[in-house]
Structure 1
């Protein structure tokens, strides 16, 4: 059956009923319908579910919608799901940039990140359909956990050693070198292990998430997902957020052990403190509360930096330069956000007397 367009005007509403096989070179021209728009206030388009189409039908509908926009008509669409997604994408890309009112101070627009957070929370809820496949989740989990362990151990070992060295130099003045174990233990469990690990992962994982998703954006793979009816946030962001949140507790405890080991090495070499005495002093001074504070912050850091990497990747321009820009924004945004979160938690803990 050839392409068909049935139209009739009823009380200011132009009804278009579309069916048949729409193929390039064998389909009606939109110019035949445009004159009928002049006497209408509402344009209602219905496309039958069994309509077969290639690019001829989207081009026909796009021309009609542009003409309706120029005449400020109300548009009502009843389309198959894939066609509706394709038209929405085409209209989004063709929309002219909005002019912003000039002012001396421009506040950032918080609506896009809030919409992203809302969509991410909806996709993470237990009843959400089409959660990530196990193989993809395991791949990302391996990237965020096993492959990150060596650098986590190295950096936190050096941080623990630096803390111990500074502590020994200062405490030696008062003859209280033994308390270097307290300094390293509390600072590591409460602050440094979670913070340093998150900063390292910002440069490694958040940047990787942003670059990977931005490359898919440049290659129009994300457009293909939307056209196929797949939510990019559920398909791309959810497995990455879940993987890093699942991996972060293990990385946090590995970071704690590495930092304590670094402090132990420095204390043993500089003040000849026995390992048993160092560990005993650490166990007595570092309470479960200190560890849980650091553990909770590590989870918050993991959720934030993974979501940040995905957010900037999905909003990247479709160019090679856009990939680099998204990566840079993800790293900078992650580090600034992590420090802000740490400062807020420190103020809250201080107010609660923890």
Structure 2
């Protein structure tokens, strides 16, 4: 089964701290989305996690494997494979032939807000004409606009600006971003139907070397690749495959579309499946992966086998990322079914349902 490499040519949207020279703008962004660049960590391990790690270490030893465990303090990013891939590897893809991403990167930033610490803040895009009409005299520009209403919380964190902003008046700040034209070879592009079919067949139970998925499949299909120890491996991660916020029933999936609740999981940094698949990508010298965003609606238009238009797609650029810190990723959990409920950190309930139209 040959890897369906393709070439990406298009405009990529991104924001980086080095693009911003104004300290006030940097602090406003940090106030609203402090973990957008650094990523989320899972926090210290509690007694239950420690006990579970000991159990998995014992099970791994019984199978002749080394269990390194998951470093709970390491940053996880979607399809990164491990914690070594930087935020700078991720971009939003603009619609075909344009510099507009339909709010993709804006939605990514907004998802990192926490109303408990920053109040009712809003991040908008001044390249969006209606937003520019209200806040920039109708002039479109490549900048986000950050609206902060809890000035008291802002001044508590940044008292040095007490003479610049009023304690009772909401204010806004601009935060620039950039768009660049890029051409990348050896890309796995999930916008393409043939690539999605290959992706399903390749990863529904893992590739058998770097990523292994769903123990039920292995019990039912004895002819499929089985876990094995490899000499010189750096680290093996074994996942028990349980998430207390997830309710799911049917573990047997039969298409790429039923993978989407896991691939587009709302957790910061993705979920188990995206880690294992990202590891395979980096181990097999894939230059980039184009995948659907977990933060916005996704659209792709194909006519006569040709990509016509799209929005809601991210790209992760693996070039120059170096080797991974782990060699294998085992995830014994089943894939989610078509409907997934997630309780967020704020107590909000999200529903993800796959619909193909």
Same-fold status (TM-score > 0.5): no
**Bin of the TM-score, shorter chain as denominator length:** under 0.3
| Higher-helix-fraction structure | 1
Larger proportion of strand: 2
Instruction: Report the structure number with the largest CA radius of gyration.
Output: 1
**TM-score, normalising length: structure 2:** 0.22
Q: Which one has more relative contact order, counting CA pairs under 8 Å at least 6 apart?
A: 2
